Amino acid sequence: MARTFDYDLYVIGAGSGGVRAARLAAMSGAKVGIAEEYRVGGTCVVRGCVPKKFMVYASEFSSAFESAKGFGWSLGEATFDWPAFLRAKDIEIARLSGLYVTGLQNAGADIAHARAELQDAHTITLSDRDRALSAEKVLVASGGRPTLPEAPGIEYVITSEEAFQLPQLPKRILVVGGGYIAVEFAGIFKGLGVETTLIYRGANILRGFDNDVRSHLTMEMERRGIAIMTGCEHAKIEKTASGLKSTLTNGHEIETDIVMYCTGRSPHTKGLGLESAGVEINNKGAVVVDRYSKTNVDNIWAVGDVTDRINLTPVAIREGAAFSETEFYGRPTSFDHEMVASAVFSQPPVGAVGLTEADARHQYGKVDVYRAIFRPMKATFYGGSERMLMKLIVDPATDKLLGCHIVGPDAPEMIQMAAIALKMGATKHQWDSTCAVHPTAAEELVTMREKYVPPELGGMPS
Ligand SMILES: Cc1cc2nc3c(=O)[nH]c(=O)nc-3n(C[C@H](O)[C@H](O)[C@H](O)COP(=O)(O)OP(=O)(O)OC[C@H]3O[C@@H](n4cnc5c(N)ncnc54)[C@H](O)[C@@H]3O)c2cc1C
């Protein structure tokens, strides 16, 4: 006789990937349960993308006030009320988390506000009840966690988890790391009037992005007054009467009120009982899955950051949706991880899709590069010195666009549109045949005709 289960699907983790998968599966008529140990919505809604974007919005006002003067505005002294911002942010996050709960309930999914642990491939225990439950299929969507390196005094630092709830805005902050979260928070704090220093042990911030993007953003962040030190890390962190003293490996000593580490995240696989269920984990702690997000155990799947593929919300959502399409709607679907655009909400922001110039040269040998660096119209009017960067990488053999990289206002909005063209395999000729929208910065993207040759390949420095 076939075994009966309490649930057709049990999902561990109600973040971006888990919620989408659970909701779709429940809408198919399946009996679905989902456990969340913290707050429904997960990292993105509660302590990631969404509250971070609110902080970016809040912090951008300071430069807007500055540029407003050039347009004839005179403003009184502007002050920022951090507790008032936090209250407004928390109300909006609670509203959004509530929408996720309602969406799950309306679809018919059971929500457990508890920690889930696998006892074996079909048995799950929840921290809020004694009886174990059984599920035919299990989806692990437990996300990721910030990681901290070993360093003397590391117990004094905060990560992004705490940054959203600081009781008061610091006067001075040291941000550690060169990834997108580090540069975003450096921009946020600087914009809110905090004296901001960023240190990174590598040679250049934003590893993995195009080299022109990396150097352009460094220049623009420094122009906005963020002190950036690369090639160094902490030797030690000590508590003093007035803050935290950081001694760096380059000999510098800096005192700040807060030290914030953004040095990476790792898949959240500890304590999930994955070993008891026989699920394979790689040497980075990520659940190993195939293109359908299936693990080595026949009834267990995993999506999102816990699989450490592309750690972005829309990717987790698409992986979760593909899983439910495949398993509950009979339509085998796998998410295509190629040409996924990404944005960095630094100030100025970055948008990127496709290959960097270095990767394209590595893969294709010869590539054509089109590059524009210019002062946007708004800056020329009010006398700002900031510059925008736009760059296209093209395969000369096929004329296909391989990469598009933008640094400057609205870059994340532009890259979403550019990603459609690149994903469709557009050629530079088709791209250029698109008429410009005027007056915009984006029109520069479709009017770049001159090939750019980098100085190291014999071109003129620009
Ligand atoms: C500061 C920050 C900014 C970010 N900004 C962006 C951005 O701008 N754009 C973007 O696309 N991505 C961004 N991300 C990444 C994005 O948040 C993640 O890629 C996304 O949330 C991954 O979704 P997920 O479903 O895999 O995991 P999560 O959203 O992390 O959800 C996992 C959930 O599982 C729960 N959980 C874990 N273990 C258990 C258990 N045993 N029992 C019950 N519940 C459990 C956790 O509490 C969590 O709620 C950001 C991340 C951070 C940290």
**DSSP states along 198-218:** EEESSSSSSTTS-HHHHHHHH
Tokens linked to 434: 């698109």
Q: What is d(CA 230, CA 228) in angstroms, rounded to the nearest whole number?
A: 6
**pLDDT value at residue 341:** 98
The arithmetic mean of pLDDT across residues 373-388, rounded, is 95
* 353 alpha carbon – ligand 1 mean position (Å): 22
What percentage of the chain exceeds 90 in pLDDT? 96
* DSSP-derived 3-state class of residue 241: coil
Distance 372 CA to ligand 1 centre (A): 35
Alpha helices in 138-223 (DSSP H): 160-163, 180-191, 211-223
Using pLDDT thresholds of 50, 70 and 90, give the confidence band for residue 455: confident
Q: Is the pLDDT of residue 3 over 90?
A: no
Q: Is a pLDDT exceeding 80 seen at residue 2? A: no
Mean pLDDT across 421-447: 97
Instruction: Tell me, using a 6 A CB cutoff, whether residue 182 lines ligand 1.
Output: no
pLDDT of 1 strictly over 80: no
Question: Dihedral through CA 75, CA 79, CA 82, CA 86, nearest 10?
Answer: -20
Catalytic one of 122, 216, 234, 438: 438
- C-alpha 359, offset from chain centre: 21
For ligand 1, pick from 313, 318, 335 the residue to mutate: most ligand atoms within 8 Å of CB.
Answer: 313
User: What is the pLDDT confidence band of residue 189, given thresholds at 50, 70 and 90?
Assistant: very high
The verdict on whether 438 is a catalytic residue reads yes
Tell me: the pLDDT tens digits for 320-352? 999 999 999 999 999 999 999 999 999 999 999
Residue 254 has pLDDT above 80, yes or no: yes
Q: What is the identity of the amino acid at 444? A: E
The tokens describing 221, both together, are: 């962040």
**pLDDT at position 462:** 62
Mean pLDDT across 214-241: 97
If you average pLDDT over residues 255-279, what whole number do you get? 97
Give the pLDDT confidence score for residue 242 in this predicted structure: 94
State the burial class of residue 71 (Cβ atoms within 10 Å of its Cβ: 0-12, 13-18, 19+).
exposed
Measured from the CB, is residue 166 less than 6 Å from ligand 1?
no
Q: Residue whose CA is closest, atom 38 of ligand 1? A: 142
Its sign, for the CA torsion 321, 327, 331, 337, is positive
Distance CA 335, CA 330 (A): 15
| Separation of alpha carbons 34 and 366, rounded Å | 50
Say if CB 393 and CB 367 are below 8 A apart. yes
Residue nearest to atom 53 of ligand 1 (CA): 48
Other CB atoms within 10 Å distance of the CB of residue 105: 13
Residue 9 and residue 141: Cα distance in Å, rounded?
12
Q: Which atom of ligand 1 is nearest to the CA of 114?
A: 43
Question: How many angstroms separate the alpha carbon of residue 387 from the centre of ligand 1?
Answer: 33
Give the helix/strand (H/E) hosting 104.
helix 82-107
Q: 103: which 2 tokens?
A: 């969406």
| pLDDT band, very low/low/confident/very high, at 407 (cuts 50, 70, 90) | very high
Torsion angles phi and psi, residue 134, rounded to 5: -120, 150
Q: What residue owns the CA closest to ligand 1's atom 23?
A: 16
Task: Name the 3-class secondary structure at 398.
Answer: coil
Confidence (pLDDT) at 456: 80
Is residue 116 within 6 Å of ligand 1 at its C-beta? yes
Which residues lie below 8 Å from residue 404, measured CB to CB, with a gap of 6+? 351, 352, 353, 354, 391, 392, 393, 415, 418, 419, 422, 445
3-state secondary structure of 36: coil
Please tell me the predicted confidence (pLDDT) of residue 461. Answer: 65
**Any atom of ligand 1 within 6 Å of the Cβ of 405:** no
Compute, in degrees rounded to 10, the torsion defined by CA atoms 68, 74, 76, 78: 10
> Which of 16, 40, 44 for mutating ligand 1's site (highest number of atoms within 8 Å of CB)?
44
* Euclidean distance between CA atoms 269 and 251, whole angstroms: 37
- The amino acid occupying position 137 is K
- pLDDT for residue 460 is more than 80: no
- Kindly state the tokens that stand for 420: 């459609």
Q: What is the pLDDT of residue 388?
A: 98
Each residue's pLDDT tens digit, 291-306? 999 999 999 999 999 9
**Mean pLDDT for the chain?**
96
Pocket lining: 49 vs ligand 1, CB cutoff 6 Å: yes
Task: Please tell me the number of Cα atoms within 13 Å of 211 on its side-chain side.
Answer: 8
